[in-house]
Amino acid sequence: MSAFVNGPVFLSRGRGFAAGSRRRAARIVCTATPPVKVGADVDSRVEAGKALSAQGVERVRFAPSPTGALHVGGARTALYNWLHAKANNGKVLLRVEDTDQARSTRESENAVLRDLRWLGIDFDEGPDAMGGEAGPYRQSERGDIYVELANRLLESGHAYPCFCTEEELDMKRKQAEAEGRPPQYDGTWRDADPAEVKRRMDAGETYTVRFKIPDNTTIAIDDIVRGEVEWDANATVGDFILLRSTGVPVYNFCVAVDDALMGITTVIRAEEHLTNSLRQILILNALGFPVPKYAHCSLILGSDRSKLSKRHGATSCDQFRLDGYLPNAMVNYLALLGWNDGTTKELYFTPEEVVESFDLNRVGPSPTMFDSDKLIWINGQHLRALPVEELAPMARDHLVDQELLDPSVESDSELSMFIAGMFQGSMSLVNDVATEFQGALGFPVEECISTGEASELLEDDGGFKVIAESILSAYDAGEFPNGSSDDHAAEWKAWVKALGKETKRKGKKLFHPIRLALTGKMSGPDVGQVVKLLHITEGVAPNRVSLAERIDTLREVVAAKY
């Protein structure tokens, strides 16, 4: 029995996507902004998409929904698409899946693009200035295309109107659950009485458009990551919706159409989209479009082995950036979340290094755990490998943001370079420079002594008294290397050597008392560098305890203790 009455049912849309109605010999009207031409234009797009997918060039896409920030999972998907395209001399497209108008915002889209740029991921085609031959690249601007192709599925008998109300569908779901059946559509309107279809359409009732799954249909794919996957389509999903009663196309319909018309050859996405492949392939087959290859990447888990989420800590790229992670380190770590090059190699200092080794066939199917400690370790390795000239502006900017350094200090100044070189070896994150810088400029000698941490040095043979008195004498005599010399490092080394001979002390018996006397701590950066830092930060570091102030405090400590 046919679902059509006196010819095919067509969809008419007034402003935006209005309710459905039946019109003979009419085509779709859709006011997508900006609108695209339908009919013959869609035919040309279909042929262009087929030609693109058949030209032998890999075409992949990253398709975010602009409803929030770019998180780890999405960033990895974008990266794998980018790496696969670059490794195979292909093209990577950016497609914005913004059909959820209630949640999609241009602000979120811009934020996602900003994060992708920070990671160094660029695109060959995409919205606005990116351009390309398969646009528009926002789904909200492709409404005419979807409705036109839905119309063709109605005309060919691959789809039909469904007049079930939400209340009726809810009752059907509850009944199925009560009977232990999968809660899928039962096909009420699949082979409806043509007269009843006509009556309801004439009455102006709203309807959805459902895809008509052929009987006894099995869909199988050879997933690049997961291997052979097969579905019994009738048992798995039942007849599913293509267009809602408002005329808005559903996610899977848009994705299938866009992948075909944009000539996508390989779909690389998260494992959670695996079951969507069934609906999308059914749509592609019904429209006569080529089916791309698929690669569904494993889930990313948190430390408790549940799906990674905000409760596991920072997961958005923007937060990682704010926390002081380097983009190349993030690329390095994200690439390893499910992939390896067949060796034990873990460090790739540039994206180009990853591209040279990347092979989609080496992405594993098992879930991978997000390890914050390993990410910090990788970031530290990248940070310490940076030329000081690259680290200096980052360190300077963070110190200025934290109001620890005057904005007048230039990124390429002697001070910025000195700070970067001084603390680079002890930093794992760019933001660590603030803690290190504050620590070096402080002088908590009294606190260190009161806690008992330095008790051994304060004993008669501990060395603190004799070293402190020698420092005070040298300072008073103007012989202490105070950091003002251009050759301070050499002068400091010579002074320490002479002090050792004078006091007959060496090794930690010499260095530990010097450190306590001049930094107020038992550990930290090179003391000579601290002295130099105190000199060159004069007037530009608000929380600095100057050398003169340290000497005064040291004098008081010696007088009180001895």
175 Cβ contact list (under 8 Å, min separation 6): none
Nearest residue to 241 (alpha-carbon basis) of 281, 209, 285, 266: 209
Greatest Cα pair distance in the chain: 111
26 within 8 A of 12, measured Cβ to Cβ: yes
How far apart are the C-alpha atoms of 30 and 36, rounded to whole Å?
9
Query: What SS3 string covers 395-433?
Result: HHHHHHHCCCCCCCCCCCCHHHHHHHHHHHHHCCCCCHH
- CA nearest to 262, candidates 108, 46, 118: 46
Q: What would the two tokens of residue 277 be?
A: 């492949």
Task: Print burial letters for 141-164: b (CB count within 10 Å at least 16), e (below 16).
Answer: bbbbbbbbbbbbbbeeebbbbbbb
The alpha carbon dihedral of 154, 160, 164, 166 has a sign of: negative
Per DSSP, 291 falls in state: P
Residue holding tokens 């599913």? 240
Question: What angle separates helix 372-385 from helix 327-335, to the nearest 10 degrees?
Answer: 130
106-121 as b/e, with b when 16 or more CB fall inside 10 Å?
Answer: eebbebbbebbebbeb
Report DSSP letters for 140-176, one per residue: GG-HHHHHHHHHHHHHHTSEEEE---HHHHHHHHHHH
- Count other Cβ atoms within 10 Å, centred on residue 63: 23
Q: Which residues contact 206 (CB under 8 A, 6 or more apart)?
A: 19, 20, 163, 245
Q: Find the DSSP H helices in 424-526.
A: 432-441, 445-450, 455-458, 464-476, 488-503, 508-519
Q: How far apart are the first and last CA of the chain?
A: 107
Question: In whole angstroms, what is the distance from residue 303 CA to residue 368 CA?
Answer: 10
Alpha-carbon torsion angle 207, 213, 215, 217, nearest 10:
-170
Identify any residues that bridge with 325 across adjacent strands, giving them in sequence order.
none
* Nearest by Cα to 95 from 52, 140, 50: 140
To the query of whether residue 310 is one of the catalytic residues in this protein, the response is yes
CA distance 14 to 287: 25
Round to whole Å and give the CA distance between 419 and 405: 11
Catalytic, out of 37, 310, 497, 508:
310
DSSP structure class, residue 308: P
| In the block, residue with structure tokens 């060919």 | 156
Q: Which residues are catalytic?
A: 310
